[in-house]
C-alpha cells in the first residue's frame, strides 16, 4: 500500500525524502560539490540539505546527484513511498545467494544494533530533541536500506532452480 494513501495521512514521507536528500548531498561531497554537479546555487542546495526547509530537490538535480554518487537514494525512497522497492539488475543475475544472504543478514543486524544504540542514547533522559530525532532517522534510514538489500537477496534465493543445478 502506498504511504500516501494511508489514513490518517502524515508527512512522514516528506521527512524521509529530506533525510535521503541530506544523505545524497553528503555522499556527493557536500553542499559545494552538489552545487557544482547540478549547476544550482550553493544556497539552494543548502535549502535542500536543511531538514527544516520545505524545498525538495528537482528531478534533473536528483538524476545528476544520484549519477554522481552511483546510488539511487532518493529514488529508493520514492519507490518505498509508492509501496515498491528497487532491484539492482546486476545483483539479480549474480549467484552465491547463500553467502550474499549471510552478508546481508549480518549487515542488517549491525544496522539494527546501531539504531538501538542511537535510540537508547537519545531516549535515556525521557526526552527526544529534534537533533536526536534526526540522528535516529539517519540510523533508521541506514537500517531500512539494509533490510531492503536483505529482502532482495532473499528474493533471489527463492527463485526456482533445476534440481542438481548448483549455479
CA distance 46 to 116: 30
Residue 1 has pLDDT above 90, yes or no: no
**pLDDT value at position 108?**
94
Residue 164: pLDDT band (50, 70, 90) is low
How does pLDDT run across 12-30, given as a tens digit for each residue?
Answer: 888 899 999 999 999 999 9
Fold of the CATH domain 3-81: 434 Repressor (Amino-terminal Domain) (1.10.260)
- Nearest to 77, CA basis, from 4, 141, 128: 141
CA distance 152 to 49: 29
- Nearest to 57, CA basis, from 38, 72, 84, 83: 38
The residue with greater pLDDT, 12 or 147, is 147
pTM: 0.56
Q: What average pLDDT is seen over the chain?
A: 85
Amino acid at each position: 500500500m502506498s504511504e500516501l494513501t494511508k489514513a490518517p495521512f502524515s508527512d512522514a514521507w516528506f521527512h524521509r525524502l529530506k533525510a535521503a536528500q541530506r544523505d545524497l548531498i553528503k555522499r556527493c561531497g557536500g553542499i559545494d560539490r552538489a552545487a557544482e554537479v547540478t549547476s544550482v546555487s550553493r544556497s539552494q542546495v543548502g535549502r535542500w540539505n536543511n531538514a527544516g526547509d520545505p524545498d525538495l530537490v528537482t528531478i534533473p538535480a536528483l538524476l545528476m546527484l544520484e549519477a554522481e554518487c552511483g546510488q539511487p537514494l532518493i529514488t529508493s525512497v520514492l519507490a518505498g513511498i509508492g509501496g515498491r522497492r528497487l532491484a539492482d539488475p546486476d545483483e539479480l543475475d549474480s549467484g552465491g545467494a547463500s553467502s550474499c544472504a549471510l552478508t546481508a543478514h549480518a549487515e542488517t543486524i549491525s544496522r539494527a544494533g546501531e539504531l538501538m544504540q542511537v535510540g537508547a542514547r537519545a531516549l535515556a533522559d525521557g526526552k527526544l530533541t529534534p537533533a536526536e530525532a534526526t540522528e535516529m532517522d539517519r540510523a533508521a534510514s541506514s537500517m531500512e536500506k539494509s533490510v531492503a538489500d536483505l529482502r532482495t537477496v532473499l528474493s533471489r534465493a527463492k527463485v526456482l532452480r533445476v534440481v542438481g543445478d548448483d549455479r
